[in-house]
Structure 1
Amino acid sequence: MASPRSLALFLLCILAPAPPVPAALLFGGGKSAKAAGGLDMEWRPATATWYGDAEGDGSDGGACGYGTLVDVVPMKARVGSVSPVLFMDGEGCGACYKVKCLDRGICSRRAVTVIVTDECPGGLCAFGHTHFDLSGAAFSRMAVAGAGGRLRDRGQLNVVYRRTACKYGGKNIAFRVNEGSTSFWLSLLVEFEDGEGDIGSMQIKQANSVEWLDMKHVWGATWCLVRGPLVGPFSVRLTTLSAKKTLTARDVIPRNWAPKATYTSRLNFEPSL
């Protein structure tokens, strides 16, 4: 019998609407400093809070679906929950940001780097506000040495943030086959993407085929395809959301693939924007 989570993913795969509004439209117009691929590189104002244990790593899993990955290096203590304007219906999952507070009496001049792993949909995160709800450890790292406790005592801070390249320290992109996947319904979660960190489109190619099949973004960092029977090994092609950089992992998912298994490629994007 299918688990509630795998059944929910299957229904989302069938019923998911058209792709959400592009990030550029959400941020609005105006002149700004941009990387070559169109990413906004300016420092922008936002607010920040923290949750969990005072020096904790943050939540287990989160809306992006990374599960226990958030508890181990390289994500450990670097996770963040963001408001919908940055979460973008899950298209913002995996993106990396530098965040720093502004009070020179207690805030370090260095920014903390956080990875989007979750969404905070209400409260300070609602009504189009840009907000970061950070792990206790990440929040504390914005303080000068020895002042983490005093900074946490403030609860809510005014901060500035900007996009930064994700760097996973030599790890290559991996693909987790979600629970419940079959030869007629394949659901994949993308892990450890250097550079932009987010995915704009995803395609797979079956064994002995020249046709690239479009996968559908349904939830968090999860993509799916309803079609079959699907025959591995599968090649996977990723295109980043903003810069439209493309990477192809050939035959990365073997013929005898299994649900809940993770398959690691031999490549990654450049760790830059």
Structure 2
Amino acid sequence: MSHSLFTLTILFFTLSSFVTSHSPSSLSSSSSSFSYSQPQPSSSSPLISEWQSAHATYYAASDPRDAVGGACGYGDLIKVGYGQATVGLSEVLYERGQICGACFEVRCVDDLKWCIPGTSIIVTATNFCAPNYGFTSEGGGHCNPPNKHFVLPIEVFEKIAIWKAGNMPVQYRRINCRREGGIRFTVTGSGIFISVLISNVAGHGDLIAVKVKGSRTGWLPMGRNWGQNWHVNALLQNQPLSFEITSSDGKTVTSYNVAPKDWSFGQTFEGKQFDT
């Protein structure tokens, strides 16, 4: 991969964290080391779409501790359990953030020189690869519409292709996600503004609706703030919180009294999980 292409890839991609995975018991742990932890598809999953054509490039972070962020709002991916097996998507695939949390299987095709035969990777959508209209979609604007483009950490890219391949033809398909443990709800905000980051979602992985309920309220619809951050203006302190979430396939999971009465901002709670 040429130096100029690598530089362009960095400019197009809002970096997210590509770090080690964790078990549900280590929600507050941290690490600066890199390891590859690939999520697994559900063997009973009904969601396996047809293979479609796209392209993929890669990026390499100089220091994983400097690569915390991402357009889906997950922040430090070690704390939400996604590890390095993550991907930034071009505008056509990103769906204004609704796709965040979904899983894709990606394989290298049509290049006997650079592809690693018989391999594929499974990655979670955690970021957005922004268009760069200073270039045409064929001449460097890899993430410009109508291109379907994946930006991968180099450690993941090298599972399916030699790094020198550069802008690599690939095929991809949506699959169900299988996660360890329950769905996680990280509550932040201040006063009556409540924001909840929802992560570790199995099944389709992406959400279309979220509701919250206190012991003294009915079910309150939450709005999508950005990515998988959802918000509501309500006085919910000093009452246990329940959540109802709906994924893109229309399935709903309700977790009652996930947060105790004495919950506080900045805490993460674990609820029920979608069957896979």
TM range (shorter): 0.7 to 0.9
CA distance in 2 between counterparts of 1:270 and 1:75 reads 19
Aligned to 1:175: 185
Structure 1 residue corresponding to 2:55, chosen from 38, 47, 62: 47
CA distance in 1 between counterparts of 2:64 and 2:152 reads 10
Higher mean displacement: 81-90 or 53-62: 53-62
Structure 2 residue corresponding to 1:204, chosen from 212, 221, 235: 212
- Displacement of 1:60 after TM fit? 2.3
What is the TM-score normalised by the length of structure 1? 0.74
Structure 2 residue corresponding to 1:142, chosen from 153, 160, 181: 160
CA distance in 2 between counterparts of 1:175 and 1:46 reads 33
Change (3 A) 1:57 1:140: farther
CA distance in 2 between counterparts of 1:217 and 1:108 reads 40
Amino acid of the structure 2 residue aligned with 1:175 = F
- The reply to whether residue 221 of structure 1 matches residue 228 of structure 2 is yes
Change (3 A) 1:128 1:117: same
Aligned to 1:156: 167
Per-residue CA shift, 1:159-211, capped at 9, x if unaligned?
0000111122x221110012x332x11100001001111111000111044x2
* Secondary structure of the structure 2 residue equivalent to 1:125: coil
Aligned to 2:22: none
Change (3 A) 1:206 1:131: same
Change (3 A) 1:40 1:79: same
Aligned to 1:264: 270
* Secondary structure of the structure 2 residue equivalent to 1:255: coil
Change (3 A) 1:95 1:270: same
Q: CA RMSD in A?
A: 2.4
- 1:1-273 correspondence to structure 2 within 5 Å: 41-53=49-61, 59-68=67-76, 70-71=77-78, 74-102=81-109, 103-105=111-113, 106-122=115-131, 123-143=141-161, 151-168=162-179, 170-178=180-188, 180-182=189-191, 184-209=192-217, 211-228=218-235, 232-241=239-248, 243-265=249-271, 267-271=272-276
* Secondary structure of the structure 2 residue equivalent to 1:163: strand
Amino acid of the structure 2 residue aligned with 1:181 = S
Q: Is the 8 A contact 1:55 1:137 kept in 2?
A: no
- Displacement of 1:98 after TM fit? 0.4
CA distance in 2 between counterparts of 1:100 and 1:128 reads 20
Change (3 A) 1:154 1:229: closer
Higher mean displacement: 254-263 or 56-65: 56-65
Amino acid of the structure 1 residue aligned with 2:92 = V
CA distance in 1 between counterparts of 2:199 and 2:216 reads 26
* Secondary structure of the structure 2 residue equivalent to 1:87: helix
What is the TM-score normalised by the length of structure 2? 0.73
Query: Can you give the 5+ residue segments of structure 2 that lack an aligned partner in the other structure?
Result: 1-44, 132-140
Amino acid of the structure 1 residue aligned with 2:253 = L
CA distance in 1 between counterparts of 2:177 and 2:60 reads 24
CA distance in 2 between counterparts of 1:221 and 1:167 reads 18
Per-residue CA shift, 1:38-93, capped at 9, x if unaligned?
x670101111000014997994221111111x246842120110012222111111
CA distance in 1 between counterparts of 2:117 and 2:64 reads 20
Query: Can you give the 5+ residue segments of structure 1 that lack an aligned partner in the other structure?
Result: 1-34, 144-150
CA distance in 2 between counterparts of 1:86 and 1:231 reads 40
Amino acid of the structure 1 residue aligned with 2:152 = L
- Displacement of 1:229 after TM fit? 5.5
- Displacement of 1:232 after TM fit? 2.2
